[in-house]
Chain A
């Protein structure tokens, strides 16, 4: 009895036992090497650099402990950048998700050509961020943009080159547009996973279409929505450099300078390496926190069953 139980336990367990002691280590070595060279080493360098201060000519550097962090965190420009980033990320995530959900619900309702709608709506995801940025830049360019012309003829003084709010709107539109397809895909899958009998039961319980959506479908989409919220926030925080660079370059002034863009500006444009490294380390901490949230709440998730 005992033996049989153990035998079953072994046959059920997915673990593979290697007879050789070294082989397993050899097999994971390439992956480890890549992680070490492309992640731990640069991350360590950034950590070290964030505690150095260089002279203006880059001839010598001095170890200053946390002085760079104190300086960065006290810098009004950095605090402004945090504000800009939070605004930009939230706006992008919300716009991208709301529009995607709307499109997914509409596409699900279509009787004919469901597949065509889906394909067309997923296409924008294949466009590179910088190209998406250029696209929007041209469309809304105050002097040559066709949509900018339209806006002006509607009586709106559209000027993203001088007006910070306009620049932010343009940036959010471009960034969200790019993410809508991704969200759309997940929402379509999420909607399909809602059992049809639940919707039928709700209909028989006297709930109209709108009520069914808000009381049955939307709550059941919660796991998808939460997952997308994390993914979209991470996207808006870290993957939008190309769009910011192409559309506004952080301007006008510093009204669209996100945290990632400021790291680039301070490090590679202004060559204040210590400050830039300190900012990267702060960003790294944010990424770690977000990943932890994702693992904690999304992987073992808000799940009904």
Chain B
């Protein structure tokens, strides 16, 4: 179908605000790229530029190898699912889905067969004669999807399509979107601020912050090797524990003066991080060799059934440890938080990862 290539794309608004500050992403054919980041990071602006709804201030966007900077949204052959669905309220579900095909002059019987087969896939067949206001949120979402799918476009764009649904439906639709995208094999760009959605949907995960790409990669690679403290704290729930370092090599010193006998293999780090699930607690007085062992005080324990989150204070910072099943600690306990050295992440003063 199509590849999407962004080269040094910038967006500067007339007011002088720079929303996107030079982003390059290459999305291979049939892959789903998720843009994730906090609100205001420029991800939606970027999506709207791919759609043609915003002009491109600098750089190029190419679809299927063809630069589309000067082509309007009408001619780009892209379909978009909007956050509020943007269904045409005065049209029945059938006409909502047929609208794009009619505009492109598709023969009537072909429109009919395509709308009906798409409706069947999305389980909308019984709703074709209803108007959008007579549908539930989940059904509207399906119609919005159907309107995009029926046109068989080169690229799908999703602008936070699940954020108006309740948690249960969101989980269900997430799986459905992934399956649909895979079976249709349409190159897609998906914008979300939900890191769980981002992790589960993406073939390529792009983490954005303040108009720039922080990291691009496969979701698990990004999770396991976050390129910066921003990515480390944004991807993962609860986020990675980050501790500030004051001392230099050969030993690292934490903010409260605790000396730990570990350093990064190269470079100089000012921040040390480890994921909650990579740590454990121990009441033993002896620190195990070759591992981080932080003296900590338990503040709270959150049992959620299959696992428990132990919130502690160590070296003046709050950290979270995730243990499976019930926790043996209780608030007020003094213990050690242990993490194996290969599970530690080090970051320099610009926030970049050092190994």
Contact = CB atoms under 8 A, between A and B. Distances in A.
Contacts of B74: 203-204, 206-208
A206 to B, nearest CB: 4
A216 B88 contact: yes
Interface stretch (A64-72, A192-200, A246-254): A192-200
Interface in B233-280: none
Interface string A4-27: 000000000000000000000000
A202 B151 CA distance: 13
Nearest to A200: B53
A206 B100 contact: yes
Interface in A167-221: 195, 197-198, 200-208, 211, 215-216, 219-220
Given A200-B53, A305-B89, A205 B72 contact: no
Contacts of B73: 200, 203-204
Contact of B99 (A200, A205, A305): A205
A304 B90 CA distance: 7
A51 B100 CA distance: 63
Interface in B70-87: 72-76, 78-80, 82, 84, 86
B90 A220 contact: yes
A197 B44 CA distance: 13
Nearest to B104: A206
Interface in B33-52: 51-52
A197 B80 CA distance: 11
B89 A203 contact: no
Contacts of A208: 74
Given A215-B99, A305-B133, A204 B89 contact: no
B103 A211 contact: yes
A211 B99 CA distance: 11
B219 to A, nearest CB: 28
B193 interface: no
Nearest to A216: B88
B147 interface: yes
B106 to A, nearest CB: 10
Contacts of B131: 304
Contacts of B88: 198, 201-202, 216
A34 B72 CA distance: 61
B99 A207 contact: yes
Contacts of B99: 202, 205, 207, 215
Given A197-B82, A204-B53, A206-B75, 10 more contacts: A195-B84, A198-B89, A200-B51, A203-B53, A203-B72, A205-B79, A205-B103, A211-B103, A220-B89, A305-B133
Interface of B: 51-53, 72-76, 78-80, 82, 84, 86, 88-90, 99-100, 103-104, 131, 133, 147, 151
15 contacts: A198-B88, A200-B53, A201-B86, A202-B99, A203-B52, A203-B73, A204-B52, A204-B74, A204-B76, A205-B151, A206-B103, A207-B74, A211-B103, A219-B90, A305-B133
